[in-house]
Amino acid sequence: MAASRSLTRFWEWGRKIICVGRNYADHAKELKNAVPTEPVLFLKPPSAYVKEGSPILVPAYSSNLHHEVELGVVIGKGGTAIPRQSAMDHVAGYALCLDMTARDTQDECKSKGLPWTLAKAFDTSCPVSEFVPKEKIPDPGNVRIWLKVNDQLRQDGSTSQMIFSIPYLISYISEIITLEEGDLILTGTPKGVSSVQEHDELQAGIEDIVSMTFRVDRH
Ligand SMILES: O=C([O-])CC(=O)C(=O)O
Ligand SMILES: [Mg+2]
């Protein structure tokens, strides 16, 4: 008999990672992007997951790897065209996530009108914390997320700054892509993204609810 799977190890399920870009106006502006009127979506494959204890690897083709700290939403109950009013019933919990981005590669993709796969979907581009049960974050629309590089605070935002709320995103995404148990939604990053180098130490947290530490390495 197959062992029953627990969502507390959602990263082992091999499900989708759906990312929302430019969901904080201050971050859209720092990269000189327009503030969107509709969510910007892209995907990472499940092979992008990395857990504490393993390093974040700088892709060989990039010399400007950026951190983006984001609140991740773990889907507990799948659905298609989920109404906004019942969207939170589909949430099992949360995880703190980094949307690691090869910014130089992304700039090149943008200028050529190409997709962001090389910039966003490489191995170790999605570091994740342990699973945080839903009850531990009663108001996910108003929590502080922060990130330090070598003990220096670089990102410090509140999810209250999101342009599109979590229920709106679940409803919007599920109109286009069926959501399944074990999927993860990355909800976008606040301002303060910056470059990381080999041997840097990244520490990030959701208030004092969860924190995680990663080292950066080169291929
Ligand atoms: O690469 C970007 O700036 C878009 C993005 O992922 C975000 O805003 O979180
Ligand atoms: Mg992002």
The pLDDT tens digits of the residues spanning 68-116 come to 999 999 999 999 999 999 999 999 999 999 999 999 999 999 999 999 9
pLDDT, position 1: 46
Q: Which residues is 4 bridged to in the sheet? A: none
**CA-based torsion, 118, 122, 125, 128: positive or negative:** positive
pLDDT, position 10: 98
pLDDT, position 3: 55
> Rounded to the nearest whole angstrom, what is the distance from the C-alpha of residue 210 to the centroid of ligand 1?
22
Give the C-alpha distances (Å, rounded to integers) separating 178 from 39, 78, 79, 182: 16, 7, 6, 12
The answer to whether the beta carbons of residues 181 and 7 sit under 8 Å apart is: yes
- Dihedral over alpha carbons 165, 169, 172, 174 (to 10 degrees): -150
Identify residue 67 by its one-letter amino acid code. Answer: H
pLDDT for 6-36, tens place per residue?
Answer: 999 999 999 999 999 999 999 999 999 999 9
Complex-level ipTM = 0.99
The structure tokens listed for 214 are 């990663």
Q: On the CB side of 89, how many CA atoms lie within 13 Å of its CA?
A: 6
Cβ neighbour number for residue 61 with a 10 Å cutoff: 13
Ligand 2 (ion): residues with CB under 5 Å are 68, 99, 189
The structure tokens listed for 9 are 């190890």
Q: Which residue owns the Cα nearest ligand 1 atom 7?
A: 21
Distance CA 25, CA 31 (A): 10
> Rounded to the nearest whole angstrom, what is the distance from the C-alpha of residue 68 to the centroid of ligand 1?
7
Please give all residues whose beta carbon lies within 6 A of any atom in ligand 1, as ranges.
19, 21-22, 27, 31, 68, 99, 101, 106, 188-189
Task: Give which of 91, 97, 19, 5 is closest to 51, Cα–Cα.
Answer: 97
> Rounded to the nearest whole angstrom, what is the distance from the C-alpha of residue 1 to the centroid of ligand 1?
42
Q: Which residues is 202 bridged to in the sheet? A: 149, 214
Q: Which residue owns the Cα nearest ligand 1 atom 9?
A: 188
Cβ neighbour number for residue 3 with a 10 Å cutoff: 5
Give the C-alpha distances (Å, rounded to integers) separating 151 from 13, 189, 197: 33, 19, 14
